[in-house]
Structure 1
Amino acid sequence: MLKIFGAVGSGSVPIEATLTLLGIPYEVIEAVTWEDEAARKRIETVNPLGQVPALVLPSGEIMTESAAILIYLADLYPQARLAPGLNDPARAQYLRWMTYVSAAIYAFAWIKDDAMRIAASKDDAPRVIDRVHDRIADCWRKMDEQITPSHYILGDELSVLNLYVTVISRFGPWRTRFYKSAPKMAEIVRQIDADPRLKEFWAKRFPFYEGWEQ
């Protein structure tokens, strides 16, 4: 069985969603690293950065970095068609946008968890978060302007890229701003929010509640 260090509403969720769609048994080791020092120390045994997600393969090998894990899982089970194949014309753009979401958007989570990591003072911390949110919204806008989606972002099949965008778009600056910045992807993530295959999963791992989009 695969083991994944993760947390509700965290970057482990798209990986857990992928495993759910693949029907692969897995165990989640809860590690709310941004609130719990003990959890951070626990995950440091597998990821020295002290961050989730971290995937423990049956061999004992460790994988970190959400985009890398998603790409690996999709390629490991090509029959599920959760990623364009190596010879698929969409493959290049798939890899481009997987890396883009990770590097240009999700990477800011490290600052949002604790603005004092880069803020000059506590008074400056709220302005840092505002600037981070502005940057994220602008990155979503630029991505949205450069894609030509069909049923999903890269075509008519659900891929891990769609799961990745759906989850990360729920982080600050929150969905309302995402909808405005990325209107083409907005329709896609709403569709994935409502996917019946993930209804029970979302309820457990990233539940919808009144006002969650704000």
Structure 2
Amino acid sequence: MKLYWNLRCGSFAPEAVAVEAGLSYERVRADHRASDPAQRAGYEELKHHNPMGQIPTLVLDDGRVITESAAIALWFAELKPEAALLPPPGSPERAWALRWLMYLACEIYPVDLLESYPERYVATPDHAEALVLGANARIDRDWEIIEQALGERAGEGPFWLGETFCLTDLYTAMVLAWHREGRDHLARSPKLQRLLEATITRPKIAPLWAEYDLGARF
């Protein structure tokens, strides 16, 4: 398998799942803005497989392509079920983990794109500031919902499933790292703070978190 990745991008969560599960894969850094010719070549190679140029993109051994960070993370977790990065199929715990994984991927992730790249979504630059303000308010509300939900099942443990770590914890840390006001938000979100610290200090995750340069806003 070949995973196309770049700094501070959505490839972190699926790659972290792969690292935790001990999967073998090839990684190709893809950055069309880089001065490094290899990274620019990686981006051109990526576009051959995915014309939209999205990171992450995963190319399977048979040439089939998987996109979307949540889908790749789920695929990696299913390749190594003994790593237990998801609860068993059919269990209430699995439903809980998937619910919040999809909330992060379908609700918060797209709104973060509005906040970070408003020029992509407005007809004229004059509208960009209003879009960012609206996106910030929506993201703040979403993280308040996350903070409340963490207390419903976590009990005394730091993770979505209490003492049991799962891929939803990785995805939460990644999406939170993109929030412009991450430090301020954590100051009023003790459950989220605890989850973040417990996740990014895991022995296999800490080096990857540092390589991806995701901690600047904390």
TM-score (norm: length of structure 1)? 0.86
Map 1:121-200 to 2 at 5 A: 121-147=124-150, 148=152, 149=154, 150-180=157-187, 182-200=189-207
Are 1:204 and 2:190 counterparts? Answer: no
Q: Choose from 66, 71, 91 the match for 2:69.
A: 66
Contact 1:152–1:158 at 8 Å: present in 2 too?
A: yes
Paired with 1:26 and 1:75, the residues of 2 have a C-alpha distance of: 15
Contact 1:115–1:125 at 8 Å: present in 2 too?
A: yes
Contact 2:56–2:69 at 8 Å: present in 1 too?
A: yes
Paired with 2:183 and 2:75, the residues of 1 have a C-alpha distance of: 31
Paired with 1:179 and 1:130, the residues of 2 have a C-alpha distance of: 19
Counterpart secondary structure, 2:98 = helix
Counterpart secondary structure, 1:82 = coil
Residue 80 of structure 1 corresponds to: 83
Are 1:213 and 2:217 counterparts? Answer: yes
Instruction: Note closer, same or farther for the CA distance 1:197–1:130 as it changes in structure 2 (3 Å cut).
Output: same
- Structure 2 spans left out of the alignment, 5+ residues: 35-39
Contact 2:14–2:69 at 8 Å: present in 1 too?
A: yes
Contact 1:137–1:181 at 8 Å: present in 2 too?
A: no
1:103 CA displacement: 0.5
Instruction: Note closer, same or farther for the CA distance 1:207–1:92 as it changes in structure 2 (3 Å cut).
Output: closer
Contact 1:4–1:54 at 8 Å: present in 2 too?
A: yes
Paired with 1:30 and 1:151, the residues of 2 have a C-alpha distance of: 32
How many residues get paired? Answer: 209
1:26 CA displacement: 2.2
TM-score (norm: length of structure 2)? 0.84
Which deviations, in whole Å up to 9, do the C-alpha atoms of 1:96-131 show, x marking residues without a partner? 111110010112344345312223432332332232
Paired with 2:176 and 2:127, the residues of 1 have a C-alpha distance of: 25
Identical aligned pairs, as a percentage?
27
Contact 1:11–1:52 at 8 Å: present in 2 too?
A: yes
Paired with 1:28 and 1:100, the residues of 2 have a C-alpha distance of: 27
Which deviations, in whole Å up to 9, do the C-alpha atoms of 1:6-33 show, x marking residues without a partner? 1011100111111111222222222236
Paired with 2:181 and 2:147, the residues of 1 have a C-alpha distance of: 16
Q: In structure 1, what residue type is equivalent to 2:18?
A: L
Q: In structure 1, what residue type is equivalent to 2:13?
A: P
1:192 CA displacement: 1.5
- Structure 1 spans left out of the alignment, 5+ residues: none
